[in-house]
């Protein structure tokens, strides 16, 4: 059953590239902004005061002539109100606060980083605001030096107005400033997040049970929807104004993560384990990054292009670099009880890789297989990468004599109508003399229906009125053979 279900899930996942309208796997989707487009979040957070923390993954495609707005709590075109986060023409990150009066420099104040984020590269930005004069900014979990902006308001409070907030835009009395590039995993906390908290959740999805998370936009909902959901409660959903696209995100985000920050990488290693018993390790780190993260995604990748028989989980690595690009060694320890590797195919086990979730194609990274130790290794991996255990094309995942017979069987289950609503019919494409048992499984591999049929050559009817909408696998098993097919319930 594992073989059939694994192959079916991967084929279904690959077909998702054409029909799926959302992607919540790994980093999922990001919001891609261009000039004059933004997300309107309405007049919210008027009661937000110090302390608070703003976080987002930011990937600018163009540096503005002056500044571009990443987030604004109040787009007031008559006064400086609320607070806003912007990218400067030099790629620096600034946060400012208005005092609720006028439009001159005497009515705003804030801080700007002395270092810049890079174009066309994902950077995690965290801004911790204890007060107007006590601000910390982090890039990729690394503390940054900051200096005051040119504003010199003496206010120590946040003054809000009735104006709407936005993602990807900031407006004041002079102009509207639009961000161009991608944003992902935008979070607001009504507390000052500690450094370890920033690093803990930087490369993984936010835990909705974590206290003080008051806004969480990640853009993973329907590609065609003009809504950007806030995953906290009560939800402050945003509405797309213009043409903000939702595209596959390249940000390094998984379901869980581990990391190390140090100035001495000698003998350091970062490890994550999969529930299957597999282990992913990054070691032999050079290039002196400030930190290295590894992350785990417990679902088959959104795209399976380039894979043969692959695991339904994968790993990633991300280096928080301050200078030259980091390099590292990947070591993948696989379990022979993980449901994928067995004595018949172990010699074909390999690692496939890609840079990130925005890349559909997986490629063989020419890793070295050590069968005696159940280890696959690859040196000289650089900066970013995602890795999955894959059985190469010549290998077969053999479970039993029944499965082996199925490999050579030309018999198929004919399913009609497909898609179906209340009833569905099965019949074999060729006659069979043995009784057959039909089983229906959902996407999680759970058995939802089962039927014994003494005459396998008759059309069998299933009542599927109790099944939820979605895709299912039907498996037929006789004494000597096993067959499978798929169908959709609408």
Which CATH number belongs to the domain containing residue 105 in this structure? 2.60.120.200
Same structural domain, 142 and 236? yes
Which helix or strand (DSSP H or E) is residue 197 part of?
A: helix 195-202
Domain assignment present for 330: yes
pLDDT score for 487? 80
Domain assignment present for 396: no
The backbone torsions φ and ψ at residue 461, rounded to the nearest 5 degrees and listed phi first, read -105, 135
> CATH number for the domain including 419?
2.60.40.10
Please give the DSSP secondary-structure letter assigned to residue 73: S
Percentage of the chain modeled with pLDDT above 90: 69
Average pLDDT for the chain = 88
Domain assignment present for 335: yes
- Domain boundary at 329, 356, 391, which? 391
pLDDT score for 457? 73
Same structural domain, 285 and 182? no
Which residue, chain included where needed, has tokens 């990391």?
259
> Which pLDDT band, with edges at 50, 70 and 90, does 451 fall under?
confident
pLDDT score for 284? 96
Q: Decide: pTM greater than 0.85.
A: no
Q: How many domains does the chain have?
A: 3
Bridge partner residues of 183 (DSSP) = 31, 58
Which helix or strand (DSSP H or E) is residue 405 part of?
A: helix 401-407
Domain assignment present for 180: yes
Q: What is the pLDDT of residues 246-272, one digit of tens each?
A: 999 999 999 999 999 999 999 999 999
Q: What is the pLDDT of residues 209-239, one digit of tens each?
A: 999 999 999 999 888 889 999 999 999 999 9
* Distance of alpha carbon 375 from alpha carbon 377, whole angstroms: 7
Same structural domain, 240 and 215? yes
Please say if the pLDDT value at position 472 is more than 90.
no
> Which pLDDT band, with edges at 50, 70 and 90, does 418 fall under?
confident
Summarize the confidence of residues 301-313 as an average pLDDT. 93
- Domain boundary at 391, 412, 445, which? 391
Please say if the pLDDT value at position 51 is more than 70.
yes
Same structural domain, 219 and 290? no
> Which pLDDT band, with edges at 50, 70 and 90, does 2 fall under?
very low
> Which pLDDT band, with edges at 50, 70 and 90, does 187 fall under?
very high
- Domain boundary at 356, 391, 426, which? 391
Give the tokens for residue 86. 């912007």
Please give the DSSP secondary-structure letter assigned to residue 486: E
Q: Lowest-pLDDT range, 203-207, 298-302, 305-309, 411-415?
A: 411-415
Same structural domain, 241 and 260? no
Q: Lowest-pLDDT range, 17-21, 189-193, 292-296, 370-374?
A: 17-21
Bigger pLDDT: 485 vs 243:
243
Check if the beta carbon of residue 170 is closer than 8 Å to that of residue 76: no
Please say if the pLDDT value at position 23 is more than 90.
no
Summarize the confidence of residues 341-349 as an average pLDDT. 92
Same structural domain, 132 and 188? yes
Bridge partner residues of 98 (DSSP) = 108
Domain assignment present for 284: yes
Summarize the confidence of residues 116-125 as an average pLDDT. 96
The backbone torsions φ and ψ at residue 14, rounded to the nearest 5 degrees and listed phi first, read -65, -40
Same structural domain, 14 and 42? no
Domain assignment present for 123: yes
Same structural domain, 118 and 226? yes
Angle, CA 316 vertex, CA 271 and CA 55 arms, to 5° = 100
Check if the beta carbon of residue 412 is closer than 8 Å to that of residue 431: no
Domain assignment present for 346: yes
Please say if the pLDDT value at position 397 is more than 60.
no
Please say if the pLDDT value at position 439 is more than 90.
no
Same structural domain, 461 and 323? no
> Which pLDDT band, with edges at 50, 70 and 90, does 399 fall under?
very low
Domain assignment present for 415: yes
* Distance of alpha carbon 328 from alpha carbon 381, whole angstroms: 5
Bigger pLDDT: 292 vs 485:
292
pLDDT score for 383? 83
Same structural domain, 424 and 283? no
How many CB atoms are closer than 10 A to CB 162? 9
* Distance of alpha carbon 125 from alpha carbon 144, whole angstroms: 10
The backbone torsions φ and ψ at residue 76, rounded to the nearest 5 degrees and listed phi first, read -90, 125
Collapse the DSSP code of 8 into the 3-class scheme (helix H, G, I; strand E, B; otherwise coil) and give the result: helix
3-state helix, strand, coil split of the chain in percent (to 5) is 10, 45, 50
Percentage of the chain modeled with pLDDT above 70: 90
Bigger pLDDT: 321 vs 330:
330
* Distance of alpha carbon 182 from alpha carbon 170, whole angstroms: 16
Same structural domain, 237 and 368? no
Same structural domain, 412 and 469? yes
Q: Which domain covers residue 124, as residue numbers?
A: 29-248
Please say if the pLDDT value at position 423 is more than 90.
no
């Amino acid at each position: 059953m594992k073989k059939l279900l694994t192959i079916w899930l991967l084929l279904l996942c690959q077909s998702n590239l054409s029909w799926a309208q959302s992607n919540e796997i790994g980093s999922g989707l990001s919001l891609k902004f261009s000039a004059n487009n933004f997300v309107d979040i309405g007049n919210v957070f008027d009661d937000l005061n110090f302390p608070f923390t703003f976080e987002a993954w930011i990937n600018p495609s163009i540096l503005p002539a002056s500044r571009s707005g990443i987030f604004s709590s109040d787009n007031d075109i008559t006064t400086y109100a609320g607070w806003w986060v912007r990218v400067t023409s030099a790629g620096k990150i600034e946060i400012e606060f208005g005092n609720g009066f006028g439009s001159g420099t005497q009515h705003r104040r804030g801080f700007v980083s002395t270092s810049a984020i890079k174009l066309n590269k994902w950077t995690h930005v965290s801004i911790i605001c204890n007060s107007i004069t006590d601000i910390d900014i982090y890039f990729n979990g690394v503390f940054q030096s900051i200096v005051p902006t040119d504003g010199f308001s003496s206010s120590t409070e946040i003054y809000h107005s009735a104006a709407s907030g936005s993602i990807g835009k900031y407006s004041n009395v002079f102009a509207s400033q639009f961000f161009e590039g991608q944003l992902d995993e935008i979070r607001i906390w009504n507390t000052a997040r500690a450094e370890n908290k920033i690093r803990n959740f930087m490369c993984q999805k936010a835990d909705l049970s974590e206290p003080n998370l008051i806004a969480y936009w990640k853009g993973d909902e329907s590609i065609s929807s003009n809504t950007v959901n806030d995953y906290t409660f009560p939800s402050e959903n945003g509405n797309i104004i213009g043409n903000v696209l939702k595209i596959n995100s390249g940000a390094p985000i998984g379901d869980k993560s581990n990391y190390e920050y140090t100035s001495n990488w000698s003998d350091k290693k970062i490890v994550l384990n999969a529930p299957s018993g597999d282990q992913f390790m990054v070691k032999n780190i050079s290039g002196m990054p400030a930190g290295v993260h590894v992350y785990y995604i417990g679902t088959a990748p959104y795209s399976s292009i380039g894979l043969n028989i692959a695991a339904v989980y994968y790993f990633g690595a991300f280096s928080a670099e301050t200078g030259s690009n980091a390099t590292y060694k990947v070591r993948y320890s696989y379990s022979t009880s993980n449901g994928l590797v067995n004595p018949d195919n172990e010699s074909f086990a390999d690692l496939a890789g890609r840079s990130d979730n925005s890349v559909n194609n997986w490629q063989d990274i020419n890793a070295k297989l050590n069968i005696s130790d159940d280890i696959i290794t690859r040196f000289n991996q650089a900066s970013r990468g995602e890795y999955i255990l894959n059985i190469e094309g010549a290998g077969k995942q053999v479970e039993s004599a029944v499965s082996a017979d199925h490999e050579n069987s030309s018999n198929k289950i004919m399913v009609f109508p497909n898609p179906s609503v209340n009833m569905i019919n099965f019949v074999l494409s060729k006659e069979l003399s043995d009784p057959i048992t039909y089983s229906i499984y959902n996407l999680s591999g759970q058995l939802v229906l089962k039927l014994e049929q003494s005459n396998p050559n008759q059309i069998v009817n299933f009542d599927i009125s109790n099944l939820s909408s979605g895709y299912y696998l039907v498996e037929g098993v006789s004494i000597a053979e096993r067959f499978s097919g798929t169908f959709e319930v609408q």
